[in-house]
Amino acid sequence: MSRCLLSLAAALGAAGPAAAAPKNVVLLVADDLGLQLGCYGDPVAKTPNLDALAKSGTRFTHAFASVASCSASRGTILTGLPTHACGQYGHAHAEHNFHSFRTVKGLPALLAPAGYRSGVVAKLHVQPREVYPFDVEVQDNGRDPVRVAAEVKKFVADSGDKPFFLLVGFTDPHRAAKGFANDAKYPPEVPAVTFDPKTVPVPYHLPDQPEVREELAEFYQSLARLDDGVGRVLKVLDEAKKADDTLVVFLSDNGIPFPGAKTTLYDAGVRLPLIVRKPGQKAGVVSAAMASWTDVVPTVLDWCGVKPEAVGKGKKAVPLPGRSVLPVLEAEKADGWDVVYGSHQFHEVTMYYPMRMVRTRGYKYVLNLAHPLEFPHASDLWGSPTWQGVLKRGDKLMGSREVKAYLHRPKEELYDLAADPNELKNLAGDPAHAEALDGLRAKLAAWRERTNDPWLIKDKHE
C-alpha cells in the first residue's frame, strides 16, 4: 500500500489491517557529521538520499547533540539523558571502558515491555548490555552500504509482524586508521563519489591549507557513501512495505572529525542534522525548533505509545528532560523550543575536560569545569594532517580562531550568536552582557540540579 493510499484510508477512518499495523522505528545515525548536507545548504556535498528524506519529512535547522563525542552522544540518544545522568561519560571501548549506569534504561529496554523487537546494525558503541539489551546485534562494516542494507533487510524480514526498533550505526564519515577508508574496496554498486579539493568549502574553524582541503575532499567522499547507505536502507523499508508504519529519524552523533568541531561544545561540534519522517505527515517541513538529542527517546516513545519512565527512585529520580518533537513536526515555528543544554566529560579516558553548556537562540554559555587543563585532543584529530600542519607551521590561528584560545579556555565562555555565530569573542567579562550571563548561569544551574549532575559538588568551589 502506498503512503498516499494509507493516508487516505486513515482520513476515511477506515479500520483494517493497516490500523493495527505495528509502529516501527528506524534510527539512522551518522558518525561525525555536521551540517554538510545538500539539504542544509552545503555547496558541494552529494547527499541526494538524505535530501530526499528531508523533502518527505521535517528537517530541523536548530537541532543539537548534548555532547560531541561518539559513545557519550549515543548514550544520550538512546537513554534520553545527558552523559552525566546516563553515566556514559566517554568512550565504551578499549581502555576507556565507560559504562552507562545499570539503573538507566536504553531504548531497547524501554520498548521491550511493549512487545518491540530491537536490533542494531553496525556501530553501537555504548555498554553495558543490561542497559542496551538489543535482541539482535549485527557487528558488520558500517561503511559498506550493500552489507548494511542486506542486514537491515534480514532484520526487518525476521521481525515478521512484531513492531521493531532498529538502530543503524553507519561508520561514515568518521576517520579510519588512515584517512577516511576511501581506498577500501566496496561492491561495484557503490561507485566512489570524489571531490576536488579546490572546490570544497573550508569551515571557519580550519585553516585554508592544501592538506585541509585534501582531508575535506576525503570527508565528502566518505559522506557520499553514508548517503548511499541511507538510500539503500530506506529502499529496504519501501520494498518491505514498512515505510508507512515506520518513523524514520536521521541524525549524527557529533560534528565533523576536525579540530574545532568534534569533542567541543561549539556549534561546529553540536549543531547537527536532524531529519524526522513520520508516516502521513506534511512533507518538506523546515523547522526552527531547537531540538536536543535528549528529545529522541521521548519522540520514539511517543510514536510507539510507550510512557516515558523516570530514572532512579525517590529523591534521586531524574525525569527524562526531553520531550517528543512529534507534536511540532509540521510547524515551521515552534514556540517554547528555544533552549538546549549540553554536558561533556571525556572522550577518551585520558581526555578529562568536563563542560556544561546552555544555548538559546541568542547566546551560548559554556562552563569549563577543568579549565586549568589544556583542552585535550582526540587521538584521531591529533594525528590528522590538518592538526599536524597547524603544529608544524606553528600557526597562531586555526581558521578564524586563535590556537591559544582553543587550547586554553577560561572558566566561562559567553557568545552573542547573532553578532558572532562562530563563537570567537568571549563576552563573559563584558558588562554589556552581564544580565544575559546571569540568566544563563541560573538556567544552567537549575538544569544541572534537575538532571542530578555529579559534578555539582555541594560546598565545594569548582
Active site residues: 70
Q: How far apart are CA 189 and CA 415, in angstroms?
A: 46
**Judged by CB under 8 A, which of 374, 402, 420, 430 binds its own copies?**
374
**Judged by CB under 8 A, which of 160, 372, 394, 431 binds its own copies?**
372
Using rule CB under 8 A, residue 460 touches its own copies: yes
Q: Are residues 127 and 104 in contact, defined by beta-carbon separation less than 8 angstroms?
A: no
Q: Under rule CB under 8 A, which residues in 41-80 are in contact with its own copies? A: none
**Judged by CB under 8 A, which of 383, 385, 400, 416 binds its own copies?**
383
**Judged by CB under 8 A, which of 52, 136, 146, 370 binds its own copies?**
370
Q: Are residues 145 and 98 in contact, defined by beta-carbon separation less than 8 angstroms?
A: no
Could you give the 3-state DSSP secondary structure of residue 250? strand
Q: How far apart are CA 445 and CA 243, in angstroms?
A: 42
* Cell, residue 79: 537513554
Could you give the 3-state DSSP secondary structure of residue 215? helix
Q: Which stretch binds its own copies (CB under 8 A): 18-26, 84-92, 141-149, 298-306?
A: 84-92
DSSP state of 203: P
Residue nearer to its own copies on the CB measure, 34 or 87: 87
Using rule CB under 8 A, residue 395 touches its own copies: no
Using rule CB under 8 A, residue 194 touches its own copies: no
Q: DSSP labels for 356-408?
A: EEEEESSEEEEEETTTTSPPPPPHHHHTSHHHHHHHHHT-SEETTEEHHHHHS
Q: Are residues 205 and 400 in contact, defined by beta-carbon separation less than 8 angstroms?
A: yes
Residue nearer to its own copies on the CB measure, 154 or 377: 377
Q: Under rule CB under 8 A, which residues in 292-351 are in contact with its own copies? A: 349-350
Q: Which stretch binds its own copies (CB under 8 A): 55-63, 87-95, 168-176, 296-304?
A: 87-95
The secondary structure element, H or E, covering residue 437 is helix 434-450
Q: Are residues 168 and 148 in contact, defined by beta-carbon separation less than 8 angstroms?
A: yes
CB of 298 to its own copies, least distance (A): 23
Nearest to 32 by CA among 186, 325, 227, 261: 261
Residue nearer to its own copies on the CB measure, 148 or 311: 311
Residue nearer to its own copies on the CB measure, 128 or 308: 128
Using rule CB under 8 A, residue 87 touches its own copies: yes
Size of the residue set binding its own copies (CB under 8 A): 26
Cis amide bond preceding 454, omega within 30: no
Contact residues for 431 (Cβ-Cβ < 8 A; gap 6+): none
Sign of CA dihedral 105, 107, 111, 112: negative
Residue nearer to its own copies on the CB measure, 123 or 371: 371
Using rule CB under 8 A, residue 373 touches its own copies: yes
The secondary structure element, H or E, covering residue 348 is none
Using rule CB under 8 A, residue 445 touches its own copies: no
**Judged by CB under 8 A, which of 2, 97, 194, 199 binds its own copies?**
97
Using rule CB under 8 A, residue 161 touches its own copies: no
Using rule CB under 8 A, residue 405 touches its own copies: no
DSSP strand pairing (271-277 vs 58-64): antiparallel
Using rule CB under 8 A, residue 430 touches its own copies: no
Residue nearer to its own copies on the CB measure, 161 or 459: 459
Residue nearer to its own copies on the CB measure, 232 or 371: 371
DSSP strand pairing (363-368 vs 397-398): unpaired
Alpha-carbon dihedral 260, 261, 264, 265, rounded to 10 degrees: 120
Using rule CB under 8 A, residue 352 touches its own copies: yes
Residue nearer to its own copies on the CB measure, 199 or 379: 379
Q: What phi, psi does 55 have (nearest 5°)?
A: -65, -25
Q: How far apart are CA 194 and CA 38, in angstroms?
A: 15
CB of 378 to its own copies, least distance (A): 11
Using rule CB under 8 A, residue 139 touches its own copies: no
Using rule CB under 8 A, residue 434 touches its own copies: no
Q: Which stretch binds its own copies (CB under 8 A): 157-165, 176-184, 254-262, 379-387?
A: 379-387
Which residues contribute to the site for its own copies (CB under 8 A)? Answer: 84, 87, 89, 95, 97-99, 101, 128, 349-350, 352, 354, 370, 372-374, 377, 379, 382-383, 454-455, 457, 459-460
